[in-house]
Structure 1
Amino acid sequence: MDATTAPPASRGSSTRNELKRAARRLFAERGIAAVGMREVVEVAGQRNAAAVHYHFGSKDDLLRELLIDGADLIDAERRALFDELELRGEPTLSQVVRAMVLPNVAFHGPTGEHETYFRFIVNVQNERRALFRDTVPEHSDGFRRFVAHVHRLLAPVPAATINQRILFASLALQTLVAAREASIDRTESGDHHFWSRPDALSGMLDAVEAILLGSGASAR
């Protein structure tokens, strides 16, 4: 076996998970280009300097796996929420926004995805936009359903205008969730004096819905 090739059974190993947790935190806190693979190995407490290459291959392969891990967790919850809503009929805009937002603030994962994932993806988008664009859409069925519902609910607003609002709302949500994540991550208890309050979540929902509606618009 090539030294840079991960064995099939290693995906869920404790070493692999520690490397992923360490890498995602370093990427989240310092950016993508500033972090070397040797540093990931050291922070993860591993002795083998080639551990990242052994378990993941290249740095880009590691970035893709970290992106997919979080995207799949969030998408699974979104799809479940949309499944439930659609069984009851055509959801309202408020319900659609809630199904979009809640998985971003309520997900957890086996390698601490909730601790650093959104700051990590912000840095990937800023530094490695093409890699992000080529990786995440295949794992975003829940987001595509969100987009379809928003177009249905905001018709007859022009499609280009709706797409612009979706982009702005998505960027605003990502910024809010990353700020929330960073603040909660700095606490020892995981309970933040502002971001853990129910009205903070309500405010996020209202902000996303307001951007989608635009000035003077209404939704069915």
Structure 2
Amino acid sequence: MTLSETAATISPRSALARDKLMHTAERLYAEHGFANVSIRRIGEEAGQRNKSVVQYHFSTRDDLIHAILDRHMAAIEKHRISMVAALGEPGALSLRDWITCVVQPSIEHHIDLGTPSWYGRFLAQTVVEPTLREYTIQAHLKMPSFRRIEELGYPYGPDLDRELVVQQGAMIRQLIVHMSAELEADLASGRADHAAAERSWRRLGDNLITAIYGLSSSLLGERR
């Protein structure tokens, strides 16, 4: 069931309970890791007396995590769709445009979340957790905005070694996900200035675009 379908079929009270559980789970997982947070603890810290409240609303731990991921991806998708819509006609997409469309929507979402936030550290765990990794990767790649980017001019042509392309994608994913988690952790701990959080996120976005552009240019043989 999608987020929109869920919202259309549950009561306002249930929606509030689900929202509280999702926010609580995201924070706990980000701060303590999946292995150190029980379903029961999530319910207790969300202020729920029913010991089976998480199972009632989400069935399983992984269903809860999927719901958290889907909510964030929907927010990121709004940013990327608007960026892609402004790019113009097919064939007009430069390599730097493509990289910016991959990186910047996530940066904008982190800025929207404010400080403190937990999504960056939460996401960093899902991409290395065996039972969640494939879902997380495929859910991102199947976003409509990514399909639109391909239509406008995907930079990796059929002549390139597909193994290298896959490795390049993994490098890009690791840079975006784990550098975002690092900055989020620094902001949460006070190692980075809360008052300058937006500036820090935008600087990270610029640095990620520059770094990924260098990696991609090398793979593409300086193709623009």
Pick closer, same or farther for the CA change 1:53–1:72 going to 2, 3 Å: same
Aligned counterparts of 2:65 and 2:198: Cα–Cα separation in 1: 31
Residue deviations 1:127-152 (CA, integer Å, cap 9, x gap): 2x343413652453334555661215
Residue deviations 1:9-57 (CA, integer Å, cap 9, x gap): 3597322211111101111122112210111122222333222122222
- Equivalences for residues 13-28 of structure 1 within 5 A: 13-28=15-30
Aligned counterparts of 1:101 and 1:214: Cα–Cα separation in 2: 18
**Equivalent position of 2:169 in the other structure:** 166
Is this contact kept in 2: 1:22–1:44, CA < 8 A?
yes
Helix, strand or coil: the match of 1:85?
coil
**Equivalent position of 1:213 in the other structure:** 217
Aligned length: 212
Letter in 2 for 1:149: Y
Letter in 2 for 1:106: E
Q: Percent identity?
A: 25
Q: Unaligned 5+ residue runs, structure 1? A: 1-5
Is this contact kept in 2: 1:74–1:107, CA < 8 A?
yes
Pick closer, same or farther for the CA change 1:199–1:28 going to 2, 3 Å: closer
Letter in 2 for 1:219: R
Q: Unaligned 5+ residue runs, structure 2? A: 1-6
**Equivalent position of 2:3 in the other structure:** none
Helix, strand or coil: the match of 1:71?
helix
**Equivalent position of 1:191 in the other structure:** 195
Is this contact kept in 1: 2:26–2:118, CA < 8 A?
yes
Superposition TM-score, scaled by structure 1 size: 0.78
Helix, strand or coil: the match of 1:40?
helix
Aligned counterparts of 1:23 and 1:203: Cα–Cα separation in 2: 31
Is this contact kept in 1: 2:80–2:101, CA < 8 A?
yes
Helix, strand or coil: the match of 1:33?
helix
Pick closer, same or farther for the CA change 1:18–1:193 going to 2, 3 Å: closer
